Amino acid sequence: MVIKSKYDNDSSDILPSAPAPLNASIRLERKHPLAIRWMHWINFPVLFTMIWSGILIYWNDSDNAYRHPHAIYRVGIGKFTLIRLFPDWFYQKLHVPYSVTQGLGYHFFFMWIFGLNGLLYVLYTSFSGEWRFLVPERRSLRDAIQVTLVDLHLRKGLPAQTKYNGAQRIAYTSVILMGVGMLVTGLAIYKPTQAHWLTTLLGGYEMARWLHFWITMSFLGFFVVHVLQVILAGWNNFRAMVSGREIQRAEAPSIEAERRSHR
């Protein structure tokens, strides 16, 4: 027989019950690897310098003294010019110096950095598996349309995504292809004799210049939209490209889990 004393109470009568575990509503997610962040921020000033020096070179084509005004960098039919980008008042307002030689020097120097940085980016995303986040999927076009409608306040509710949505996949892949186009057309302009086969393949020297210019305009368009989207997305998205981590809702799909599934 076991005899209990008055001090032999159940532990439940003495110890307070443990509080129920709380479910976290947010988590810290690793979004951008260090290499991608470095290449992103290196590319920003390099591309800006390339475009700026390209504008200086472009002014040379717009100078009537060379008797070749607006022949390439314009929108028109035949000899009729509808729009000529960057007219004289553009340079005057920004106090841009007429310095074609300086523009060529900057352009030819930074093109190697631009090309090397782009090559390293492609190699890194290929070997690390990050390309799987970039390449458009079968549903990317449909998701891109939905994202656009949401941005225009014509629809509510974004499609499910991990690192990038369908619109971002299409845009970032297009930028990589535009970078390749910039290098190819730039090489055809830089060495039209040594790379005559490439220049001929692009339709000749003048056509290579035309393609190079409008790819640059596409880069500018992407840059404007990209900055606006970053502003609209808020600080959390910008911080991810600085620190590599982003605050996510607990129920959101895990980027790291998808990254591990690729291995």
What whole-number distance in Å separates Cα of residue 134 and Cα of residue 169? 5
Percent of the chain with pLDDT over 90: 31
Mean pLDDT of 160-170: 86
Q: How far is CA 1 from the centre of its chain?
A: 79
Whether residue 2 lies inside any domain: the answer is no
| Mean pLDDT value of segment 199-208 | 91
Q: Are strands 26-30 and 80-84 parallel, antiparallel or unpaired?
A: unpaired
Residue 13 CA to residue 11 CA, distance in Å, equals 5
- Which pLDDT tens digit goes with each residue over 35-81? 999 999 999 899 999 988 888 887 766 555 445 555 566 777 777 77
Confidence band for 12, pLDDT divided at 50, 70 and 90: very low
Provide the domain count of the chain: 2
Whether residue 258 is contained in a domain is answered as: yes
Do 134 and 104 share a structural domain? no
Among residues 61, 84, 114, the one where a domain terminates is 114
- Is residue 107 domain-shared with residue 134, that is, in the same domain? no
Distance from C-alpha of 72 to C-alpha of 211, rounded to nearest angstrom: 10
* Burial bucket for residue 62 (CB in 10 Å: 0-12, 13-18, 19+): buried
Q: Which domain holds residue 158?
A: 129-262
Q: Is residue 29 exposed (0-12), middle (13-18) or buried (19+ Cβ within 10 Å)?
A: buried
140 with 89, same domain: the answer is no
Asked if residue 223 and residue 144 are part of one domain, the reply reads yes
- Region of 86 (left: φ > 0; alpha: ψ -120 to 50; beta: rest) is left
> Do residues 140 and 218 both lie within one domain?
yes
Q: Would you mind telling me the total number of residues written for the chain in this entry?
A: 263
**In a shared domain, residues 92 and 138:** no
On whether both 145 and 211 belong to a single domain, the answer is yes
In this structure, are 75 and 133 located in the same domain? no
Give the span between the Cα atoms of 119 and 176, in whole angstroms: 10
* Whether residue 178 sits in one domain with residue 226: yes
Looking at 87, 114, 141, the residue that finishes a domain is 114
Decide if 102 is inside a domain: yes
- Residue 251 belongs to a domain: yes
Alpha-helical (H) ranges within the chain are: 11-14, 34-62, 88-93, 100-128, 131-134, 140-151, 166-190, 196-201, 205-233, 235-243, 255-261
- Determine the Cα–Cα distance for residues 234 and 6; give it in Å rounded to an integer: 63
141 and 102 within one domain? no
pLDDT in tens, 74-126: 777 777 777 777 776 777 776 666 677 888 899 999 999 999 999 999 999 99
Pair 176, 217 in one domain: yes
- Of 70, 89, 114, which residue is a domain's last? 114
> Which residues, including other chains, have CB under 8 Å from residue 170's CB and lie 6 or more apart?
136, 140, 141, 144
